[in-house]
A and B are shown apart, each in its own frame.
Chain A
């Protein structure tokens, strides 16, 4: 276990050190102490290392992550794991806005609640939120899976493309072109796998699935009232 004191040694040194780890490194386990809400912690990583942040972070923690597992023992600010490509990001607390925004791959787990626009423009990432999510989540979401074990706020899945949304609790309202869809066996299988990997204590059968009605995929003046 390598320990990095962020307060004492600075952000540039932390990211430079973590980014320089090769895929064959033996130093696979890192601990970051004194994060104190700093921004851009553990961004741009590209090695199969495990980084544990001992406290809460600011914006863009684990942004553009590849391969690494980043655990946050606290809450995270806006844009956690934004544009993640692969790997895992696990947040013990809550997440602010835009969690997992535009992510292409990997798994983001939020054990608390996530604020608005969770999964905005997601492009293949899987997101599992143990608690609730805020309004406009999965706005223009293109691909991947968003699993919500609690409730979803207003306008879920507005202008959705091909991402799959699974919600166990209530949905305050659906956004434009987002509809409830049949939960088929293949969806239950996907959901079970994600819940297991995210350590969520929930049964797939308790969820409803939402997806795109695909009515707004090509512009039609008769749909102008939808937006």
Chain B
């Protein structure tokens, strides 16, 4: 009888597509701790992205430019609308805002060094401007955040641009929390708070609400800075058409649109993964708003959230952006999630490529930490050089594509250079599905 049982085919164990192992593990973790998961970085879920687009390249109807010979310009000027001194960048790839506090001193220095060497700007974050950061950044954008930690008019006047942060792609509508273990004496002093306590970064500005107030706030900042520097408005991508239009109406020189793949120093995983729009989906609506108001290219659009390669840069620009900003990719270039720290990642219960507990301050790479010993692992000169190299490579890649499409400036890339691999990407980017002349929403299917 037993032998017969052994011969009966068995039903294989089937894992649920709903209650997956990661989901079940999270349920068990929540049940054990009573606390939601907090982590750094941006959305990890797969969403339609630049990988779902392809460039068409030159053909009979278009001729390419000669690689290594014919010029393809990469410069961009941000803030041409009202500022007396717009920011002129050699490349259309900027460094996004990341705070001293979230990042170590050497990491901030390295960002400044790398960006400056590549001819682009870097950006402060919550917690204010450090002298080291100002000193190592040839062009520094000063973030004006809801918390106003470290905000003061002297630093405001040292900035090359001001970025009013309304939201972040990783957490549109959310604030932040720098946990107590990352609050060193210096970070605490800069933020006027006791050492060791969790520091809440507010989700709303304390002295304005809505676009009408924002217009007056921008007026005040311009009056304080003598209308010298550009004022950006950064939003997390949720309602890109209307947010762009309202930012323009409020008087912004530059709109920064951050998609859900954009990183954060510390936010609830549920927030990162379930709030906001994919970067790919917010570019065309934002450009449409600028075009409808007649200010496309006069008010510049900076796109961020998951930019990794020169191809991503070229695709964002082809869809109408003037520049992009990178955060997570810049940290990887500095040395974040480097396999050489695998043994230490294992001790922290993670692995190379998956390390995202940036809020805990134990980063083996010395980047997202305030621990002096860990921070000392990052050589800011070498890390800055790596960032410069990476920025140069991205630029070369974008130029390669632009030349192949026949353009002598990255800004001459256009939607007609693109096609989409999926229906979703075609709908979001409003470019034809590969091999067709149609995209969802376009008449004539």
Contact = CB atoms under 8 A, between A and B. Distances in A.
A175 interface: no
Interface in A127-178: 139-140, 142-143, 159, 161-162
B81 interface: no
B223 A15 contact: yes
A50 interface: no
Contacts of A121: 147-148, 202, 206
Contacts of A117: 206
B198 A219 contact: yes
Given A39-B216, A218-B180, A60 B207 contact: yes
Contacts of A82: 207
Nearest to A214: B197
A40 interface: yes
Contacts of A211: none
Interface in B61-116: none
A43 B180 CA distance: 35
A98 interface: yes
Given A83-B148, A221-B35, A120 B206 contact: yes
Interface in B34-61: 34-35
Contacts of A97: 207
B153 interface: yes
B409 interface: no
Main secondary structure of the interface of B (DSSP, over half): loop
Contact of A12 (B34, B179, B223): B223
Interface string B190-230: 01111011101010001110000100110110011111000
B177 interface: yes
Interface in A76-126: 78-79, 82-83, 85, 97-98, 101-102, 104, 117, 120-121, 123-124
A39 B200 contact: no
Nearest to B226: A16
A85 B153 contact: yes
Interface in A40-60: 40, 43-44, 46, 58-60
Given A59-B216, A217-B197, A104 B223 contact: no
Interface residues on A, range: 35 or more
Contacts of A161: 193-194, 197
B225 to A, nearest CB: 8
Nearest to A216: B198
B45 to A, nearest CB: 25
A19 interface: yes
A101 B209 CA distance: 14
Contacts of A12: 223, 227
A41 to B, nearest CB: 9
Contact of A60 (B153, B193, B217): B217
Nearest to B215: A39
B177 A46 contact: no
B198 A218 contact: yes
A162 B194 contact: yes
Given A19-B226, A79-B208, A101-B207, A60 B202 contact: no
Residue of A19, A44, A222 contacting most chain B CB atoms (<10 Å): A44
Given A59-B216, A60-B217, A121-B148, A98 B207 contact: yes
A104 B152 contact: yes
Interface string A175-200: 00000000000000000000000000
Nearest to B156: A64
Contact of A123 (B192, B197, B217): B192
A162 B199 CA distance: 13
Given A16-B226, A19-B226, A85 B220 contact: no
Nearest to B147: A121
B192 A124 contact: yes
A49 B234 CA distance: 36
A40 B198 CA distance: 34
Contacts of A78: 207-208, 213
A56 B332 CA distance: 53
Interface string B132-165: 0000000000000001100111001000000000
A16 to B, nearest CB: 7
B152 A60 contact: no
A204 interface: no
Contact of B202 (A11, A140, A217, A222): A140
A39 B224 CA distance: 12
A39 B219 CA distance: 8
A104 B220 contact: no
B267 to A, nearest CB: 13
A141 B148 CA distance: 12
Contacts of A59: 213, 216-217, 220
B206 A98 contact: yes
Contacts of A15: 223-224
Contacts of A101: 206-207
A159 B153 contact: no
A143 B192 contact: yes
Given A101-B207, A219-B177, A39 B192 contact: no
The 7 closest A-B pairs by CB, nearest first: A44-B224, A217-B197, A79-B207, A221-B34, A102-B148, A98-B207, A64-B153
Given A11-B223, A15-B224, A83-B151, 18 more contacts: A12-B227, A15-B223, A19-B226, A39-B216, A40-B219, A43-B223, A43-B224, A44-B223, A59-B220, A63-B220, A82-B207, A98-B207, A104-B192, A139-B206, A142-B193, A143-B192, A217-B194, A222-B34
20 contacts: A11-B223, A12-B227, A39-B219, A60-B217, A60-B220, A63-B220, A64-B152, A64-B153, A64-B156, A78-B207, A121-B206, A139-B206, A142-B192, A159-B200, A161-B193, A161-B197, A217-B197, A218-B198, A221-B34, A221-B35
